[in-house]
Amino acid sequence: MLSSHQTKIRVRYRDVDRMGVVYHANYLDYFEWARSDWIRAIWKSYRDLEDSGIFMVVTEASLKFIRPAQFDEELVVTANLTDWGSSRIVFNYIITRQASEVPICTGSTTLCFVNTAGRPMRMPEHLKALIVSE
Amino acid sequence: MLSSHQTKIRVRYRDVDRMGVVYHANYLDYFEWARSDWIRAIWKSYRDLEDSGIFMVVTEASLKFIRPAQFDEELVVTANLTDWGSSRIVFNYIITRQASEVPICTGSTTLCFVNTAGRPMRMPEHLKALIVSE
Amino acid sequence: MLSSHQTKIRVRYRDVDRMGVVYHANYLDYFEWARSDWIRAIWKSYRDLEDSGIFMVVTEASLKFIRPAQFDEELVVTANLTDWGSSRIVFNYIITRQASEVPICTGSTTLCFVNTAGRPMRMPEHLKALIVSE
Amino acid sequence: MLSSHQTKIRVRYRDVDRMGVVYHANYLDYFEWARSDWIRAIWKSYRDLEDSGIFMVVTEASLKFIRPAQFDEELVVTANLTDWGSSRIVFNYIITRQASEVPICTGSTTLCFVNTAGRPMRMPEHLKALIVSE
C-alpha cells in the first residue's frame, strides 16, 4: 500500500487575501508542507535529502478550489502517494476543516527526483523500499 | 477574437528558493499579475471591480513547470483568454524569458464571477462585450 | 505582570531564500503568528476581534537578525508584552531554536487599536483587564 | 554624495491582507526590491554578486507604517544610502504614492557583506569607489 500523511495547518494572517479567505496560491504551499512532514515521518528531513544531493522538483500541479477557508481556521491536509515511477512520484491532496470531510481544496502534484546538476535521477532505493513496504 | 495580454515580471529575491530558482507556487502569483494587468488594460482595475461587488474567484488551476527561472531574470507572462461561459472565464498562460519562446512554465486557470455573498453571478455585460469585440 | 507567550514554528521551504536561510522579512510574520496565538490563548481569536470591528494595526517594527535559521528547523518565538498605553501595545520578541537560548532574531512591534474607519480607539476594557491581571 | 535610487512598485493582490491594505511585512520586500534595482543600476545584478561569493546580509531593520496602501496602487520606493563602514552599508527608505510626497512607510536597513562561509568581509573596492564617486 502506498503512503499517506496528515498535516494540521493553522491559516495565518498573511495567507488571507482581500476577500478574507486563503489566497489560492497558498494551497500549493500547504501541499508542500504535507510532503515535507510526510518524508520526515517515514524517512528523514527533506533538508537532509537536499543536502545529500537529491532534490524533489515539482513538475506538474493541479488544484480545485472548492470552498473558501478563513483566517485562523485549522485545516487538515491529507497527502496520498498515488503513483510512482523510476524517477517520479505523484501525490493527491485533500484539504478539509478539522472534524469535517467536506473538501476545501483538492489537488495533485508530480515530483521528479533530480541531482545537483538538475538532471533526473532514480528514486533513492531506500525511499522506494519504504513506499513499497508501507 | 479573445483577449491576450503580456506582463513583464522581474524575479525578486523573495520568489527564489533554496535551489536558487523560482519557488513553484509563485507562478500562480505571476498568472494573477497578468490577469490584473489584462483587466486594467482592457477595462478598469480589478480593485474597482471588487469595490463594485464583483469578484473573480479562481476555481481551478493547473501548471507545468518546464524549466527553472533564476533570481533577477526578466520574465514575460502571456495570458490568453481561451474560453468563457455565462459566469466563468478561462485563461491559458505561457511564461518565457524575454526574447525567447522557450517555455519556463505553462498553465491554466478557471475563474468564476461571484457577488459579495459569494454566489456565482453572470459575467458583467460590459466585460463580455469587450471580450467578444476584441 | 504583563503577558508572555511562546509559539513553535517549523521553518517551511517557502520561507528559505537563495542562501538557504530564512528570508529576513519572514521574521515579521513569525512575530505575528506569536501575537495571534497569544490573543487566542488569553482571550479569543484575533479573527473574532476583527469581526467585531477592532483591528490591531502594526505602526512600528524593529528587528535584529543575529544568526541564520535553516529550512525545517523548529523555532520558538517568545512574545513579551512589554508596554501598553490607552490605544496601543508593545511586544518584544526573541526567536531561538528549541532547547536553546541563543537568539536567532529579536525585535519589537508597536500596535495601535483602530476601528473599522481606521481611527485609533481605546484598547478594549476586557483585554486591558486581562493584561493587568496577568 | 552617497547613492539614491527610486523603484516603482505595483501593489499585487497577494500583498494585501484582510483589511484590504498592504500587509506590513511586505514593506521589507519592497525595500529589498529597491536595493536590488539600485545595485543593478550602479554596478551589476546582485545575483552576479552572490554568484561571485559576496553576500549582503540584512542585520538590522526598522520600519514605521504611516498610512495604508491599497491593492493595485503604484508606489515609489526611494532608497538612500545614508552610511557605510568597512563591511556594512545603511539604507533609509521612503515609500510614497506616485506624484505625492506623503509617506506611506519609512524605514532603514543595515546590511553586512559576508563571504560564502558567512564571515564578514570588506565591502568590494569597486562598490566603494562607486559609492564615494557618486
Q: Name which of B13, B29, B40 is nearest D36 (Cβ-Cβ).
A: B13
Per-residue pLDDT at D76 exceeds 70: yes
Determine, for residues A63 and B61 on separate chains, whether the beta-carbon distance falls below 8 Å: yes
Q: Which DSSP state fits A118? A: S
Asked if C35 contacts C79 with a C-beta cutoff of 8 angstroms, the reply is yes
Per-residue pLDDT at D134 exceeds 60: no
Q: Which chains touch D (3 or more CB pairs under 8 A)?
A: A, B, C
CA angle C51, C55, C58 (to 5 degrees): 145
Mean pLDDT for C81-91 is 95
Give the cell for residue B124.
458583467
The region of weakest confidence among B34-38, B74-78, B106-110, D129-133 is D129-133
Contacts by D56-59, CB closer than 8 A, 24 or more apart: D56/D89, D56/D111, D56/D112, D56/D113, D56/D114, D57/C19, D57/C65, D57/D111, D57/D112, D57/D113, D57/D114, D58/C24, D58/C65, D58/D109, D58/D110, D58/D111, D59/C64, D59/C65, D59/D88, D59/D110, D59/D111, D59/D112
What local confidence, expressed as pLDDT, does residue D131 receive? Answer: 86
Q: Name which of B13, B18, B71 is nearest C71 (Cβ-Cβ).
A: B18
Per-residue pLDDT at A1 exceeds 70: no
The interface pTM score, or ipTM, of the predicted complex is 0.95
Per-residue pLDDT at A91 exceeds 80: yes
Closest by Cα among B64, B10, B65 to B33:
B10
Chain D CA closest to residue C60:
D64
Is B60 in the A-facing interface, judged by CB distances under 8 Å?
A: yes
Give the cell for residue D116.
560564502
Is D23 in the A-facing interface, judged by CB distances under 8 Å?
A: yes
- For CA atoms C34, B26, D53, D133, give the dihedral sign: negative
Per-residue pLDDT at B133 exceeds 90: no
What does the alpha-carbon distance between residue D112 and residue D57 come to, in Å, rounded to a whole number?
A: 5
- Residue among C62, C111, C115, C116 with most chain D CBs within 10 A, to mutate: C62
Give the cell for residue D130.
562607486
- Residue among B9, B10, B16 with most chain D CBs within 10 A, to mutate: B10
Please give the share of chain D, as a percent, with pLDDT higher than 90. Answer: 93
State if pTM tops 0.90. yes
Measured between alpha carbons, how far is residue D117 from residues C19, D54, D58 in Å? 11, 10, 16
Q: Name which of A13, A33, A72 is nearest C12 (Cβ-Cβ).
A: A33
DSSP character string of D84-95: E-SSEEEEEEEE
Chain D CA closest to residue A25:
D14
- Residue among C18, C28, C70 with most chain B CBs within 10 A, to mutate: C18
Kindly report, residue by residue over C16-35, the tens digit of the pLDDT.
999 999 999 999 999 999 99
Q: Name which of B29, B57, B64 is nearest A60 (Cβ-Cβ).
A: B64
